[in-house]
Amino acid sequence: MSDQDLRDLLHDRVDDLTSIDLAPGAWEQAARRRRVRRSLVAGGVVLAVVLAAVTVDLVRLPDREGGAPMPASPAPTPSDSTSSTASPIVPDATYQGLPVWWSPDLDEELDLPLVPPDLMPSWDVDLTAEAPDPAAAPIVRAVAAFGRDHSVVLVAPSRATRRLPVDLDQPETDEAGYEVSPYGPSMLSPDGRHLVFPQAGSLALYDVARHRWSSIDVGSATTAYVTWVGDDQLLLPRLPEQSGPLYDVDGTRVGTGAKPPVRVFRLQESMQNPIGPARGDGEGATAQSWGMGPGIPVRDPATYLSGPASLVVTGGPTGTSVLAFMTAIDDHRWMDAPAVAGWLDDETVVYESIADDRDLLIAWTVGTDLFRKVASVTPGWTSSFARLG
């Protein structure tokens, strides 16, 4: 994306939103830097999508062209309930009536305590280190996958790593004709047993336990937005939020489906920009990250860009909770919102905080100011996560 494209995108996001107050100097500096360092998480978002413990819930459609339209998902209402054993926690701010918390900044992240071992053993991943091919040292499943160039590094539940050579020669292209990377946030299945890579006219599939490659012929269907539905089905919408064919991992077409439409705050649809997949905790709560745009309050308007990106949890026992990423002009955190990596339990969501020089997994106890460090990963790789908890 060019500097001018970034400037145009940012102006498009805020053109009709009067609550965003961005100083001209801030925009000039933001245009000169495609990445920014710091992001705090605060946001209040009402999603009109209810996702289960899988990457995406499914609205099933008749398996034919021109099928019946998808039913609309009703928007959940914010809940004021709190735990019966805990005192109410005062948020850092509110936005559109929803509680907002601010995340640690980049410097504070480095000093965060580690998650306790009973919740998840902390781990560091050096993606440049030597690792055996899974053909020589098999694993059953992976909890994370990191793709770059012609290999994917798999992280087993034991934290052992394997390096899978990837040789794909039929890249998919997007609507503008640009090649789509085979690596994306949805490449690893929720159970960690399969990897999927979009190709032109097909899906390349890798079975982790069997160390076996296969291909699913999808004809003229677009594969760029392939998404897992449950542990063993693949949805191919033509564009995000649109309907498309549904296949199982054996290559059988099993129907047609779509991601439910999402609704964020009370904003025009063009300003609703999801980052990464939505992830459920298995108990009814869903976490989704969103790009910059909404006028969520920031910690210090003189220091942070207005309209911060955010992570929003809906459907939990305390209703909707928002975490917005405070972004200073001269920081090195990537401008896109840290994507949701998964859940450690029904109270703790994990997000991936990426900067120019590091990649950290941070755990947030939803609806509180408690943050802990889960993992440190070599930066510069495309990540995908299975269920963490």
Give the domain ranges of the chain: 3-385
Could you tell me how far CA 251 lies from the centroid of its own chain? 26
Task: Assign 245 to helix, strand or coil.
Answer: strand
Q: What's the pLDDT at 81?
A: 35
Cβ atoms of 39 and 32 within 8 Å: the answer is: no
Q: What's the pLDDT at 23?
A: 36
Residue 87 phi, psi (nearest 5) = -75, 150
Could you give the CA distance from residue 191 to residue 209 in angstroms, rounded to a whole number?
Answer: 12
Tens digit of each residue's pLDDT, the chain (389 residues): 444 444 444 344 434 433 333 333 333 333 333 333 333 333 333 323 233 333 334 443 333 333 333 333 344 444 443 333 444 589 999 999 999 999 988 888 889 999 998 888 878 999 999 999 999 999 999 999 999 999 999 999 999 999 999 999 899 988 888 999 999 999 999 999 999 999 999 999 999 999 999 999 999 999 999 999 999 999 999 877 788 999 999 999 999 998 765 566 776 665 678 888 899 998 889 999 998 878 899 999 988 888 888 999 998 787 899 999 887 777 777 767 799 999 999 999 999 999 888 899 999 999 999 999 999 999 999 999 999 97
Q: What's the pLDDT at 198?
A: 97
Count, residues in the chain:
389
Cβ atoms of 351 and 340 within 8 Å: the answer is: yes
Q: What is the pTM of this model?
A: 0.76
Q: What's the pLDDT at 270?
A: 58
Q: What's the pLDDT at 152?
A: 98
Instruction: Write out pLDDT tens, residues 299-351.
Output: 999 888 888 889 999 987 878 999 998 877 777 777 677 999 999 999 999 99
Q: Which residue has the tokens 């840290």?
A: 338
Burial (CB count within 10 angstroms: exposed 0-12, middle 13-18, buried 19+), residue 25: exposed
